[in-house]
Structure 1
Amino acid sequence: MLGVVNGFAAIGAVIALGALLAHVRLVDLQAQVLLSRLAFFVASPALMTLTIGRADVHEVLSPNLIASAAAVLVTGAAYLALARALWHRETPELVIGTLSSTYVNAGNLGIPIAAYVLGDAALVAPTLLMQLLVMQPLAITILDRTTRGTSPGLLRTLRQMVTNPLTTGSLIGLLLSVTGWTLPPFVTDPVQLVANMAVPSMLLAYGIALRLGPGFGAGGTKAEVACTSMLKLVVQPAVAWTVAHLVLGVDGTALLAIVVTSALPTAQNIFVHATRFGRGEVLARDTILLTTMGSVPVILLAALVLG
């Protein structure tokens, strides 16, 4: 438990530093964009390549992926049922609401939390791959069809999946892990230097965004935002625990990793998708804000009970 608290303290300190730098106007939103791009396109793929490449993916992937996928399916189905019955949402809003309820921030927060709280960044890999290879392409395809009357097509969808930097880095790491190959030092050393930049860049950028980004808005349906936030913070980790522990027999650090990953807040890129297609922007934005604030006590509670 002490290790978990220390890990969150370290993460919180760097986020606070980012917010402080923004408050004193040493950096602005352009700096946040630059840090985010560096982390997304360069540092995080390097980090995932090395961490997954060194991990025993046979142990990491099997129960983790099954429990995480089950949690997404149950939570998403619960939102769809409620949204259709209570708020009569159209398909694009249903897609954004489902993503808001289930799509975790495995990149910006999942990687540093897995690295500093759970001790292994590879633990977030199953969720990250599931989201990048399945959930996001499927959601974008449905949004394209229902808002623009078009479809990106199979080849374009596959291209989007494999050219995503995090996907590429993770797949290279999987290849290294499965085959047992090792990169030579003249490759590993510079990649490691770049990878070391990933976590602080993410956390600084997040702190800047918290200080300078838009606050909680009055628009949208408050009941629906409360619903998506509750599903994300309570139902999804509860289902993940049930499947992992009671069905698959997982316990210890592996169980904590599954629950913590499922309890991560909604990813910021859901708001990007909502803005791009012009549907469900307020729901996505406000769910991200509420789940980001609420995830800390939920994850600490999980660590206290399971750690």
Structure 2
Amino acid sequence: MGGVLGGFATIAAVVGLGILVGHVKLVDAKGQRTLSLLAFYVASPALLVTVLADSDPAEVFSTHLVATVVGVGAAVLVVAAVAVRRGWDLGSSVVASLCSAYVNAGNLGIPVAAYALGDAALVAPTLLLQLLVLQPLALTLLDVDRSPGRLPIAKVLTRPLTNPLTIGTGAGVLLAVADVRLPQPIHDPLALVGGMAVPAMLIAYGVALRLGPLPGRGVRPRALVAVVGLKMLLQPLAAYTAGRFLLDMDGHDLFAVTLLSALPTAQNVFVVATRYDRAVLLARDAIFVSTVLAAPAAVVIAALLS
């Protein structure tokens, strides 16, 4: 449990730094957006290449993946149904879906898997699912939403190939599948730039918290409660149900898949929302509230399943 709480404490400290630099006006709203875009276009792709190049693609085909897919699918389907019923635009629907299903598997999931669960590889199925399926699909839909006219099907299908995050993901997976190690003169600069991704996301997020409306005041409370409820309750419950009753998982495996599904909304959802200017405040507030709730949720899950 110390690893879980330590991961949350680290995130809170860096977000607090962002709040501070926003408060003293070291970074203004334009600087916050620049920092977010730098993370999106430069640092995050470099990080994805170096992290995924060292991963084991075979991990994605485990029972953990199936349970994770069920959890993600349950949350996304509910958002889609509500979006259709209430006539939400495509971009806002996509961001709301990410808020309810895209977990912080990188800068929080990795330390939680390593220190709380004893095996960092346990987070690999979640990482690869999000990076190879959920993220490219979401970015493609957001590109379609931002397009001034109707895109030809060929352009829709090829849009992911032009997105920097998808390119970084694809390059990293190809290197892993081919078991190719990047030469040090290439790997080290990528790793150095990639190391900027998570701090840049967290600091930009802290600046947005300080300069924007207080959490809960910039969005409709019902919408915020809904997406956070889906993220922190429905997703882990659906993953647990699938693991326990469909896949016959138990013990440590069932605990792991449930705990990882209960991680808060990832900070890069805010970066994506900022990049496409869709539901930015909803993304910001969902990350804040789900991160606050994640530590108590982890304690409850550990008490029930560990």
TM-score range, shorter chain: 0.7 to 0.9
Which residue is equivalent to 2:31? 31
Q: 2 CA distance for matches of 1:215 and 1:171?
A: 37
The one-letter code matched in structure 1 to 2:112 is V
- For the residues of structure 1 that align with 2:35 and 2:253, how far apart are their CA atoms? 31
CA distance in 1, matches of 2:23, 2:186: 39
Report the residue type matching 1:47 in the other structure: L
What is the aligned partner in structure 1 of residue 297 from structure 2?
301
State the SS of the aligned residue for 1:237: helix
Unaligned runs of 5+ in 1: none
Q: How does 1:199-218 map to 2 (within 5 A)?
A: 199-216=198-215
- Correspondence 1:47-126 to 2 at 5 A: 47-81=47-81, 88-90=85-87, 92=89, 96-97=92-93, 99-103=95-99, 109-119=104-114, 120=120, 122=124, 123-126=126-129
- C-alpha distance after superposition, 1:149-204 (max 9, x if no partner): x4322222233211211111111111111111111112112111112222212211
Structure 1: distance between partners of 2:274 and 2:21: 24
Contact 1:5–1:300 (8 Å) recurs in 2: no
Give 1:137's aligned residue.
140
Query: Which residue identity does 1:131 align to in structure 2?
Result: L
CA distance in 2, matches of 1:39, 1:287: 16
Alignment CA distance shift 1:253-1:19 (3 Å): farther
1:71 Cα shift?
2.1
Instruction: Return the letter of the residue paired with 1:52.
Output: L
In the alignment, the residues of structure 2 paired with residue 250 and residue 273 of structure 1 have an alpha-carbon distance, to the nearest angstrom, of 41
- Partner SS for 1:152: coil
TM-superposed CA distance for 1:263, in Å, is: 3.8
1:235 aligns with 234
Between 291-300 and 168-177, the greater mean CA deviation after superposition: 291-300
Aligned CA distance change for structure 1 residues 290 and 38 (closer, same or farther; 3 Å): closer
Whether contact under 8 Å (2:94, 2:138) holds in the other structure is no
Q: How far, CA to CA, are the matches of 1:61 and 1:251 in structure 2?
A: 20
What is the aligned partner in structure 1 of residue 12 from structure 2? 12
Q: Which letter maps to 1:48?
A: L
Percent of aligned pairs sharing the same letter: 31
**Which range moved further: 222-231 or 184-193?**
222-231
Measured in 1, the distance between the counterparts of 2:218 and 2:5 equals: 35
CA spacing shift, 1:116–1:39, aligned 2, 3 Å: farther
- Are 1:190 and 2:201 counterparts? no
What RMSD, in angstroms, separates the aligned Cα atoms of the two structures? 3.4
Task: Output the CA distance in 1 between the equivalents of 2:297 and 2:88.
Answer: 35
What is the total number of aligned residue pairs between the two structures?
A: 292
Kept in 2, the 8 Å contact 1:19–1:204? The answer is yes
8 A Cα contact 2:100 2:227, kept in partner: no
- 8 Å CA contact 1:68–1:262 kept in 2: the answer is no
Cα 1:275–1:27 shift into 2, 3 Å: closer
